[in-house]
């Protein structure tokens, strides 16, 4: 029973960091659009775009990707980050709801077979992407310092990931 309950939250793939993913290989497999979460995926929570993030988005553009940041945060936070890295954006996205993910693919000109989602949370990022049929990659959070509601979700994530790692995925 637990297995079935947790499977809808399982990531398609895990990576240590958004910066360690082999983006060229994924492009070679046909992916053309990447949707990112911002906070604790690309930079620590609330931090502005740093040189590493700007460099990553420049490299992705050179490869041929279209990128968009999808965040539940407010417009000033999301717009400023997106502008700094040269990406499209959607703020107050309502993740894990499907609307933001579908809107993101429309803006990127991609569909579920050519889109990737990369984020650090199971119950918003991964679950939302899975609900839309988008391949997703769960990355480790950049910073351990998080808001209390996220800390509470992390405890539940550990339970889900325990079953995921035990190989209960079929």
Residues 132-166 pLDDT 10s? 999 999 999 997 766 656 666 666 777 677 777 77
Quick one: tokens of 144? Answer: 């351990």
Q: What is the pLDDT of residue 1?
A: 46
Q: How far is CA 115 from CA 47, 79, 95, 101, in A?
A: 26, 21, 16, 10
Domain annotation covers residue 92: yes
End-to-end CA distance of the chain: 14
Q: What is the pTM of this model?
A: 0.86
Q: How many domains does the chain have?
A: 1
Average pLDDT over residues 16-29: 98
Q: What is the pLDDT of residue 157?
A: 77
Q: Which residue has the higher pLDDT, 149 or 37?
A: 37
Average pLDDT over the chain, rounded to an integer: 90
Q: What percent of the chain has pLDDT over 70?
A: 88
Average pLDDT over residues 99-127: 96
d(Cα 151, Cα 16) in Å, to the nearest integer?
Answer: 19
d(Cα 154, Cα 23) in Å, to the nearest integer?
Answer: 27
Domain annotation covers residue 38: yes
Domain annotation covers residue 68: yes
Residue 74 has pLDDT above 60, yes or no: yes
Domain annotation covers residue 127: yes
Q: What is the pLDDT of residue 146?
A: 60
CATH code: domain of residue 44: 3.40.50.1000
Q: What is the pLDDT of residue 143?
A: 75
Domain annotation covers residue 151: no
Domain annotation covers residue 157: no
Domain annotation covers residue 160: no
Full residue range of the structural domain in which residue 95 is found = 11-143
Domain annotation covers residue 51: yes
Buried b (16+ CB within 10 A) or exposed e, 2-35: eeeebeebbbeeeeeebeebebeebbeeebbbbb
**Cα Rg for the chain, rounded, in angstroms?**
15
């Amino acid at each position: 029973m637990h297995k079935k309950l947790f499977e809808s939250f399982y990531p398609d793939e895990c990576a240590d960091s958004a910066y360690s993913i082999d983006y060229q290989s994924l492009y070679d497999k046909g992916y053309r659009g990447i949707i990112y979460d911002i906070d604790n995926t690309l930079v620590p929570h609330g931090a502005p775009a740093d040189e590493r993030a700007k460099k990553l988005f420049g490299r992705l553009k050179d490869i041929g990707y279209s990128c968009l940041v999808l965040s539940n945060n407010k417009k000033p936070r999301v717009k400023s980050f997106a502008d700094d890295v040269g990406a499209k954006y959607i703020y107050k996205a309502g993740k894990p709801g499907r609307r933001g993910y579908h809107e993101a693919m429309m803006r990127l000109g991609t569909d579920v077979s050519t889109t990737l989602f990369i984020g650090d949370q199971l119950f918003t990022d991964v679950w939302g992407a899975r609900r839309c049929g988008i391949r997703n990659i769960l990355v480790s959070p950049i910073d351990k310092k998080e808001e209390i509601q996220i800390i509470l979700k992390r405890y539940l994530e550990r339970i889900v990931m325990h079953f995921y790692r035990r190989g209960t995925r079929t």
